[in-house]
Amino acid sequence: MADNSGAKTVRVFTVLGGSRKRYAQIGELVVASVQTADPKHMNKMVKKRDVVRCVVVRQRHPIRRRDGSVLRFDENAVVIVDEKKQPKATRIFGPIPRELKEKGFDSIFSMAEEVV
C-alpha cells in the first residue's frame, strides 16, 4: 500500500479493462481484497476483508519510457480509490511515476511527496 487508508496489504484478484487482462501496469485499475489492516485505528476507511478498487502506482516490472530510460521500483504498490477515481486516503507515500498524471490521476499525482 502507498497510502494512509488503513490497509497494510491487499491481494489483487481482478484487473479491470478487459475480460482476458492478466497483468496490471502503472495507472490501471484493479479490484483487490484487504488482507491486513491497521488494528490500532478502527475508524479507518477500510477494514480487513473489504473489497476495494485500487490504482497501481508502482511495479517491479521495468517500465520503458519514450526517451529510452527504464524505470523500476523495489515493490508493487497500489492506492485505494473510489468510483470517481479519487483517492480515499489523504496522504500518498513513496515515489510516484510521471505516467500516473498522463493516465488521468491528477489528484494522486498532486498528493505525492516524490515524483520520479
Taking CA atoms, 71 is separated from 11, 61, 62, 98, in Å, by 24, 9, 6, 11
pLDDT in tens, 41-87: 666 788 899 999 999 999 999 999 999 999 999 999 999 999 999 99
Is 80 exceeded by the pLDDT of residue 110?
A: yes
Residue 101 near residue 50 (C-beta atoms within 8 A): no
| Full-model pTM | 0.90
Domains defined for the chain, CATH in brackets: 7-115 (2.40.150.20)
Quick one: pLDDT band at residue 38, thresholds 50, 70, 90? confident
Residue 46 near residue 5 (C-beta atoms within 8 A): yes
pLDDT of residue 42: 63
The conformation of residue 85, written as its DSSP 8-state character, comes to S
Its sign, for the CA torsion 15, 20, 23, 27, is: negative
User: Measured between alpha carbons, how far is 72 from 96 in angstroms, rounded to an integer?
Assistant: 11
Residue 53 near residue 25 (C-beta atoms within 8 A): no
Average pLDDT over residues 27-54: 88
The conformation of residue 3, written as its DSSP 8-state character, comes to B
